[in-house]
Structure 1
C-alpha cells in the first residue's frame, strides 16, 4: 500500500501535467467553440447539468457520478469530426442529455426542452444527425458500463453499526447523533483507481501525542460556538465553505470552462476528468475514514475536560480523518492546475449556499484549498491533521486519474 509522497514532488507534478497535456493536445489545435454572438454549447450544457442535478436529494458522490458519466460520454463523442461545429454541438448536447435523462429522470422534461433549444439552432443535415447518434451511443455505452457500480444512494448509505465506544473511536455526534453516513462509498467501483485504498494515508496522530493535543487544542480555541479567539473574518470563511463541495466548486469549474479558448472536445474532457477524479477521491476518502474511525473533535473535547463544548457548526455524520472537504479541494486543485494552469485566465466570483448573499473572488485555485483547510477547523468539525492529509489524498488520487485518463478517453 503506497503510504507517502515521493521525495521529488516537483518531478511528479511535471509528470502529471505533461501526461495530461499530451492527452489533450490532439484536440487543442482549433479555436474555442464560440465565435461572435454564437451560443457556447459547452457552457450552455454545463448550466443545464448543474440545474438538473439536485444535490439536495442525492449523496454528493452520486451527483458527481452523474456529472462524470454524462460529460465523459460527451468527451468521447467529440473526439470525432473536430472541425465540424454542427456535429460537435449536437454530439455534446445529445450525450449529456442522454446521460442525465437516465440518471436524473425526474428532470427529463427540462432536459428535453434544453435539447430541443440546442438542436433548433443547429442546421439540419448529416453532421447534426451523426452528432446526435454519437452522443446517444457513447452515453448509452457508459451507462451500461457503470450500472451497479455502487454509487446509487442506497449503496452509498447502507446501515452502519456504531462502533463500541473507546478512546479515539468515532461515535455519533450531537445534536442529532446520526449513524455513520457514506460508509458504502468505499465499496463502490472507481473510474480509474484499481482499489479504494491505493493511496490510503498513514494513520492519524496517536492519542496523547504532541500533534494530537495541538490539533484538539486548536479546534477547541478557534472552533467553539462561543469562541472569543475566532475573528469575524474566520467565522465568515468557515460559513462560506460549510456547504457541499460539489455545489461550491460548480462555479469554480464553470469559470475554467467559460474562460477556456480550447475547442469543445478539450473542454468536455476538462469537465469529465474533473468529476471522474472527484468520484474516485470520494471513494478513497470513505475508505480512509472508515478504516481509521477517528473520533470527531467534539467527541474528543467533550471526553476530556470540557463536556459542554460545542462546535460553531454541526458536525457531519462520519469520521474525522481525513476531511472530505479537503480531499475534494485537493483533487479539484490538482485537476485544474494540471489542465488549465495554476491560475484562471481572469478573476472569477463564486457564491455559497451556506452564506447567502456572500461572494468571493479568486484568480488562482490554491487559495480555495488553503481556505478549506482553515475553514473546517474554525467550524469546529475537523482537526488540522485531517484537513492537511485530506488535501494530500485528493491531490494524489486526482494525479492518478490524470495519468490514466487515456484508459477512459482513448
Structure 2
C-alpha cells in the first residue's frame, strides 16, 4: 500500500473538519455553574481539634481516596461505578449546604465523611468493614460534641434519602448489560468483532434514569457519515493506515498515546479530578459539589452515549475494513463490544473537560501527573484539561478501534450533556 497517498488525503480531508473547541453558546455555563456553587451557604470553617493535633487533614481528599479505593474493587460496569460516586458525593454536597456556625469545620468533616460512607456502604456492601474503619479514623480526630453529631446525622440522612430516590434507576449491572440481539449483517451495521465476537455490551444504559437529563436522546448527535461518502472513506483510510497492528505509519509516540488512553476513562480521570480537588481553595461545600457535579454529568453522558450508539448501530472499523479489500487487517488494540458512533471514551473526556473548565477554569492551579491502567509504569503530566481530550481523540484512531468522526461526535455529545448538568445542578444540589 502507498501510505503517503492515503495519509496525505486523510490529512487534507481532516483539515476541513470542525475543530472540537468549546462553542461560544456554552460559555455561559462557566458563569452559571460558578454562581451555583457560590450560592451555597457555609460558615467560615474553623480549625477545631485536640490541642495536640497536627496539621488539619483534608477530609475531602481523604474521602475522595476512600471512594476511589472502594470503587476499584469488583467488576461492576463503569456507569454503575460512576453512579456510586455520584450518589455518595451529591449526598455530601447536600449535607454541607448549611453548616451550623458552631465548630463549622467539625460539622463539615463529619457530614462529608458520613454521607460518603453511608452511600458507599449501601452501594458497595462488600467493602463495609474498610469503610467503617475509614469513618472511625475520621471521627476519631473530630472532638465529640454537637457539631460532630449533627454532621454525622446530616450525612446519613442525605445519603439515605438519595439512595431511596435512585432506587431502581436501571444502573445496576444486570440492567446495564441485558441480552442484545445481534442485528442482521448489512453494510454499515454493527456486528460482533474479533477476536471474541462478544454480543453488544452496555445496551441497557440508554433505558436508565438520568440524574438531570429529561431524556437520553436530548443531545443525540446527527448521524455518522454515510457509507461510501468522502468523509467515511477518509475515516477508514486513516484508521487503516495508522490504527493497524502492524502499521509502519504510526510513530512510537502515537502508539504510546493509544496505549495510555486505552484503559477505563473512570480510572484515568480519577487522578485528574483528584488534582482539581486537592488544589482547590474553595469551601468544603463547593469542593464536594465539584466531585458531585462531575460524576452526575458523567453518568448522564454514559446514558446518552448508549442511546446514540444503539440508535445508529454503526459498524466498527475492523468490520468495515475486513469486509472491504483487507480481510486480514487487525487493529492495534482489541475492539470493545459495542458500536462505533459516538466514541464513549471521547464523550467521557468531553464531559470531563466541560465540567472542569466551568468549575475550575481552563487549567489546573499546578501541573498534575496521572498514570494509566493500560500502560504500566507510564505517567503523563498536564496543566490544562483540553490536551487530555485532544489525546483521547487521536488515541482511539491510533488504536484502530474508532473513526475520527465517532471521536469528534463523542466530544461534542459529552460537552452538551455536561453543559446541561451544569445548568441544572441546582435541581439536584438544592
Q: Same fold (TM over 0.5)?
A: yes
In the TM superposition, what whole-angstrom CA distance separates every residue of 1:96-145 from its partner, at most 9, and x where no partner exists? 00000000000000000000000000010001000000000000000000
In the TM superposition, what whole-angstrom CA distance separates every residue of 1:201-239 from its partner, at most 9, and x where no partner exists? 000000000000000000000000000000000000000
Could you say what secondary structure the match of 2:27 adopts? Answer: helix
- Map of 1:156 onto structure 2: 176
- Map of 1:43 onto structure 2: 61
User: In the alignment, does 2:96 pair up with 1:78?
Assistant: yes
Give the one of 3, 9, 16 matched to 2:29.
16
User: In the alignment, does 2:301 pair up with 1:281?
Assistant: yes
Give the one of 381, 396, 403 matched to 2:416.
396
In the TM superposition, what whole-angstrom CA distance separates every residue of 1:332-381 from its partner, at most 9, and x where no partner exists? 00000000000000000000010010000000000000000000000000
Q: CA deviation at 1:10?
A: 5.0
- Map of 2:4 onto structure 1: none
Give the one of 175, 187, 191 matched to 2:211.
191
Q: CA deviation at 1:15?
A: 1.6
The separation in 1 between residues aligned to 2:302 and 2:378, in whole angstroms, is 27
- Map of 1:294 onto structure 2: 314
The separation in 2 between residues aligned to 1:59 and 1:390, in whole angstroms, is 19
Could you say what secondary structure the match of 1:242 adopts? Answer: coil
Give the one of 26, 42, 46 matched to 2:39.
26
Could you say what secondary structure the match of 1:81 adopts? Answer: coil
The separation in 2 between residues aligned to 1:139 and 1:162, in whole angstroms, is 39
Could you say what secondary structure the match of 1:360 adopts? Answer: strand
The separation in 1 between residues aligned to 2:47 and 2:290, in whole angstroms, is 17
- Does the Cα contact within 8 Å between 1:238 and 1:375 map onto a contact in 2? yes
The separation in 1 between residues aligned to 2:272 and 2:82, in whole angstroms, is 15
Cα 1:26/1:163, change in 2 over 3 Å: same
The separation in 2 between residues aligned to 1:327 and 1:290, in whole angstroms, is 15
Could you say what secondary structure the match of 2:190 adopts? Answer: coil
Could you say what secondary structure the match of 1:361 adopts? Answer: strand
Could you say what secondary structure the match of 1:363 adopts? Answer: strand
Larger Cα-atom Rg: 2
- Map of 1:106 onto structure 2: 126
Give the one of 221, 237, 244 matched to 2:241.
221
The separation in 2 between residues aligned to 1:241 and 1:134, in whole angstroms, is 39
In the TM superposition, what whole-angstrom CA distance separates every residue of 1:270-328 from its partner, at most 9, and x where no partner exists? 00000000000000000000000000000000000000000000000000000000000
Greater alpha carbon shift after TM alignment, 120-129 vs 23-32: 23-32
In the TM superposition, what whole-angstrom CA distance separates every residue of 1:8-47 from its partner, at most 9, and x where no partner exists? 9754233211110110113498778989821000000000
Q: CA deviation at 1:81?
A: 1.2
Aligned length: 404
Could you say what secondary structure the match of 1:226 adopts? Answer: coil
RMSD over aligned CA atoms reads: 1.7
User: In the alignment, does 2:237 pair up with 1:237?
Assistant: no
The separation in 2 between residues aligned to 1:29 and 1:154, in whole angstroms, is 40
The separation in 2 between residues aligned to 1:126 and 1:162, in whole angstroms, is 59
Could you say what secondary structure the match of 2:383 adopts? Answer: strand
Structure 2 unaligned runs (5+)?
Answer: 1-17, 49-53
The separation in 1 between residues aligned to 2:222 and 2:150, in whole angstroms, is 50
Give the one of 144, 149, 163 matched to 1:124.
144
* Structure 1 residue runs of 4 or more that deviate by more than 3 Å after TM superposition: 8-11, 27-36
- Does the Cα contact within 8 Å between 2:42 and 2:98 map onto a contact in 1? no
TM-score, structure 1 as length reference: 0.96
The separation in 2 between residues aligned to 1:156 and 1:376, in whole angstroms, is 23
- Map of 1:378 onto structure 2: 398
- Map of 1:330 onto structure 2: 350
The separation in 2 between residues aligned to 1:364 and 1:28, in whole angstroms, is 30
Could you say what secondary structure the match of 1:380 adopts? Answer: coil
Could you say what secondary structure the match of 1:397 adopts? Answer: helix
Could you say what secondary structure the match of 2:373 adopts? Answer: coil
The separation in 2 between residues aligned to 1:241 and 1:34, in whole angstroms, is 40
Q: CA deviation at 1:80?
A: 1.6
- Map of 2:427 onto structure 1: 407
